[in-house]
Amino acid sequence: MEIGCGNGELSVWLAKNGAEVYGLDISDESIKIAEARSRTNNTTAQTHFYACPAEHTPFEDNFFDIVFINVSLHHLEVDLALNEFKRVLKPGGKLIAIEPLAFSKTIQNIRVSKLFTKLYPIRQETPTERILLIDDLRLIATIFTHTIFIPYRIFSPFIYKIKPLFLFLTKIFFKREPDLETGKQKMNRALQRGDEKLLKIFPFLKFLSRYAVIYAEKE
Ligand SMILES: C[S@@+](CC[C@H](N)C(=O)[O-])C[C@H]1O[C@@H](n2cnc3c(N)ncnc32)[C@H](O)[C@@H]1O
């Protein structure tokens, strides 16, 4: 199951690669787009889309092998949602998420400070949206077993947000790409790879990282 599947890009990609996917999102509009995307890609036999809140799903207990979440857990009522995921996962089922997360409360306090938010305004799409904190990881570890948290991305989100600098770098390093969009995607990926290398060489820099890959299992 993909939680917060939005327009269904990932769900349909997973279906095209052989998975049977249940995509769930609170937005009716997004679910309609996801269904249309699935029709266009001939994956309707492998996809099932539901417009409903992730905290209260219509599925029976022990139903799914995997609950996958891409940047949506931080929109949810985390405690309720995690217990719901545990309920619908089979024993041994896996929770996999990629989420914005602050490993350091001090760094997070700086990010939400007045001065910093003037430079980098914080987007808030839903009332419950917030950056996850170490306490949320602790909560995951109390509800699930075999938890692994991998820090991910340090400077790349900031450079991406400084549009003129990002464009300048794209034009210098990816000037041979057929179009600007491809160049921007490659630049973004190159910056992320830079962060990955940095974290590998200097693991202590994880306190600066902006995202985490989260892996957990149901007992
Ligand atoms: C940042 S978007 C991510 C969308 C998609 N996963 C992607 O990677 O493009 C967050 C998604 O979570 C959905 N969402 C927010 N609150 C939700 C809730 N309580 N239950 C289910 N989905 C929710 C939003 O409608 C939105 O599609």
Q: Convert the pLDDT of each residue in 136-153 to its tens digit.
A: 999 999 999 999 999 989
Cα(212)–Cα(140) distance, rounded to whole angstroms? Answer: 13
- The answer to whether residues 101 and 138 touch, using CB atoms and an 8 Å cutoff, is no
> Which residue is closest in CA terms to ligand 1's atom 16?
75
**Which pLDDT belongs to residue 193?**
95
> Which residue is closest in CA terms to ligand 1's atom 15?
75
Cα(200)–Cα(197) distance, rounded to whole angstroms? Answer: 5
74 burial type by CB count under 10 A (0-12 exposed, 13-18 middle, 19+ buried): buried
Q: pLDDT tens digits, residue range 92-123?
A: 999 999 999 999 888 888 888 888 888 777 77
**Which pLDDT belongs to residue 120?**
75
Q: pLDDT tens digits, residue range 16-51?
A: 999 999 999 999 999 999 999 999 999 999 999 999
**Which pLDDT belongs to residue 123?**
75
**Which pLDDT belongs to residue 88?**
98
Average pLDDT, the chain: 94
Cα(71)–Cα(152) distance, rounded to whole angstroms? Answer: 13
Q: How far is CA 26 from CA 57, 65, 120, in A?
A: 10, 22, 27
Q: What is the 3-state secondary structure (H, E, C) of 63-98?
A: CEEEEEEECCHHHCCHHHHHHHHHHHEEEEEEEEEE
Cα(138)–Cα(176) distance, rounded to whole angstroms? Answer: 46
Helices 180-201 and 163-173: crossing angle, nearest 10°?
A: 100
- Other CB atoms within a 10 A radius of the CB of residue 204 amount to 7
Distance 12 CA to ligand 1 centre (A): 16
DSSP one-letter code for 52: S
- The answer to whether residues 11 and 21 touch, using CB atoms and an 8 Å cutoff, is yes
Calculate the CA 81 to chain-centre distance. 15
DSSP one-letter code for 18: T
**Which pLDDT belongs to residue 202?**
96
**Which pLDDT belongs to residue 172?**
95
Which domains are assigned to the chain?
A: 53-217 (3.40.50)
Q: Which of 194, 113, 104 is nearest to 157 (CA)?
A: 194
**3-class secondary structure, 180:** helix
Distance 104 CA to ligand 1 centre (A): 25
What is the percent of the chain where pLDDT is above 70?
100
**Which pLDDT belongs to residue 110?**
86
Ligand 1 atom index nearest CA of 53: 20
Structure-token match 């890009």, residue found? 9
Ligand 1 atom index nearest CA of 2: 6
> Which residue is closest in CA terms to ligand 1's atom 10?
72
Distance 54 CA to ligand 1 centre (A): 9
The pTM of this model reads 0.90
pLDDT band at 127 (very low <50, low <70, confident <90, very high): confident
> Which residue is closest in CA terms to ligand 1's atom 8?
70
Ligand 1 atom index nearest CA of 5: 6
Distance 4 CA to ligand 1 centre (A): 4
Ligand 1 pocket, CB under 6 A: 4-6, 25-27, 30, 53-55, 70-72, 75-76, 126
Q: What average pLDDT score do residues 192-202 get?
A: 95
Distance 75 CA to ligand 1 centre (A): 7
Distance 100 CA to ligand 1 centre (A): 13
